[in-house]
Amino acid sequence: MSNPPYRVALNGYGRIGRCVLRAHYERGASAEFRIVALNDLADQASVEYLTRFDSTHGRFPGAVRVEGDRLCLNGDALQVLRVPTPEAVDWAALGIDLVLECSGVYHSRADGERFLRAGAPRVLFSQPMASEHDVDATIVYGVNQQRLAGDEKLVSNASCTTNCSVPLLKLLNEAIGLEYISITTIHSAMNDQPVIDAYHHEDLRRTRSAFQSVIPVSTGLARGIERLLPELSGRIQAKAVRVPTLNVSCLDITLQTARDTSAEEVNRVLRRAAEQGPLQGLLDYTELPHASCDFNHDPHSAIVDGSQTRVSGPRLVNLLAWFDNEWGFANRMLDVASHWLSVAAARQ
Ligand SMILES: NC(=O)c1ccc[n+]([C@@H]2O[C@H](COP(=O)([O-])OP(=O)(O)OC[C@H]3O[C@@H](n4cnc5c(N)ncnc54)[C@H](OP(=O)(O)O)[C@@H]3O)[C@@H](O)[C@H]2O)c1
């Protein structure tokens, strides 16, 4: 491992890859690590253009230009690669300490090992892997980053929905006790949906125009939560719908609690955790009359909308939690990267 600042590369420079780079700069380009290279299938003119202009998050806050094979940002020069397979990149020659894998096309340990064999010492994936055994750890920052010992090679940053739900479920399970959980994700459109109907995906509904319909899609959220909170295994169901908005999603969470409770108690637990303790800055709480676009560019993993908490029964709780599926998750990629690199360095 090199000395700080550590050298980080992005593989896949789409919605998440670009948000990670931009969040790195908006957070003040941490002294701990530098993003020194990015790899995507796109040409350099497109890389420059999509870095400078973004329909969702606005213009890049700083100077952007391409010089040869470099993307120059605020005086830094990042090497731009256009290589379709991880083994064709000489990560060792680039001196990379960590690859942030944001293409979404690699799902298995065998895929991850292709990066390692090409000289990348560590890979952080921007999605849950096919099975928990495909990585050395799946991390939801604020909940279990302490389990990183520094010797891991492949780590997953889970999903945006797992990052939103797990902190809330853990808090409420510890404070009140949870019997059964049912979650509906209401998610903005993504690049795996076409603008107009097209042959596109093994999930037939994802062949339909993203901007014409509310579209039920498959989700692995229940499995993702069970990986982080095994004490809830077998008691979670989830479904998801995509809606025709560009960004910001929410979870509609229904909980059967182990004892009687009230909306006031549920909100008190969640508001306190947002105000103090390890989830501060990751969890937020509001009772203002918001709409989804108010949370565009919000770095929290979850924003509980306390005005929407309902309790009936009195053991049936219904909650609404917002999240910027791009920006919140990209910030967690940076948090996990930073923490992992520091524990890996301390171990040496
Ligand atoms: N968007 C979200 O809200 C969100 C939130 C959390 C997690 N995620 C996860 O993050 C991953 C990426 O999602 P995204 O929304 O950022 O997707 P995206 O916008 O489609 O970005 C993926 C990028 O990777 C590129 N790419 C494809 N194959 C590649 C390869 N072999 N090598 C290098 N680059 C390659 C794509 O190029 P082409 O377009 O030319 O194929 C595209 O630019 C997915 O696993 C997704 O589930 C997404």
122 shares a domain with 38: yes
**For residue 42, how far is its CA from the centre of ligand 1 (angstroms)?**
12
Q: How far apart are CA 196 and CA 210, in angstroms?
A: 7
Question: For residue 314, what is the domain's CATH number?
Answer: 3.30.360.10
**For residue 102, how far is its CA from the centre of ligand 1 (angstroms)?**
6
Summarize pLDDT for 155-168 with one digit per residue, the tens: 999 999 999 999 99
Pocket test residue of 91, 102, 108 for ligand 1, highest count of atoms within 8 A of CB: 102
**For residue 321, how far is its CA from the centre of ligand 1 (angstroms)?**
24
Summarize pLDDT for 27-76 with one digit per residue, the tens: 997 678 999 999 999 999 999 999 999 999 999 999 999 999 999 998 89
* Binding-site residue ranges for NAD(+): 15-16, 40, 126, 325
- Confirm whether 113 is domain-assigned: yes
Which ligand 1 atom minimizes the distance to the CA of 84?
31
Q: How far is CA 98 from CA 66, 166, 172, 332, in A?
A: 23, 26, 34, 15
What rounded mean pLDDT belongs to the chain? 96
176 shares a domain with 213: yes
**For residue 5, how far is its CA from the centre of ligand 1 (angstroms)?**
26
Which ligand 1 atom minimizes the distance to the CA of 104?
45
CB 151 within 8 A of CB 344: yes
Is ligand 1 within 6 A of the CB of residue 11?
Answer: yes
Query: Tell me, what's the pLDDT at 278?
Result: 96
Is ligand 1 within 6 A of the CB of residue 130?
Answer: no
Domain count, the chain: 2
Q: Select from 85, 118, 135 the last residue of a domain.
A: 135
Q: How far apart are CA 15 and CA 280, in angstroms?
A: 26
Q: Which domain does 197 fall in, by range?
A: 161-325
Torsion of CA 339, 152, 222, 231, to 10 degrees: -90
Extended beta strands in 149-218, E state: 154-156, 178-188, 215-217
Summarize pLDDT for 264-302 with one digit per residue, the tens: 999 999 999 999 999 999 999 999 999 999 999 999 999
Give, in degrees to the nearest 5, the angle at Cα 321 between 171 and 22.
105
Question: For residue 48, what is the domain's CATH number?
Answer: 3.40.50.720
Q: How many CB atoms lie within 10 A of CB 131?
A: 12
- Confirm whether 337 is domain-assigned: no
Active site residue 19: no
- Residue from 241, 239, 14 nearest 126 by CA: 14
Is ligand 1 within 6 A of the CB of residue 159?
Answer: yes
175 shares a domain with 321: yes
Confidence band for 343, pLDDT divided at 50, 70 and 90: very high
Query: Tell me, what's the pLDDT at 3?
Result: 79
Q: 19, 102, 160, 164: which one is catalytic?
A: 160
DSSP 97-154: SEEEE-SS---SHHHHHHHHHTT-S-EEESS--SSGGGSSEE--TTTSGGG--S--SE
Which DSSP state fits 88? Answer: G
Is ligand 1 within 6 A of the CB of residue 41?
Answer: yes
- Confirm whether 176 is domain-assigned: yes
CB 113 within 8 A of CB 203: no
102 shares a domain with 185: no
- Confirm whether 144 is domain-assigned: no
177 shares a domain with 89: no
Tell me what percent of the residues of the chain surpass a pLDDT of 90: 95
CB 112 within 8 A of CB 154: yes
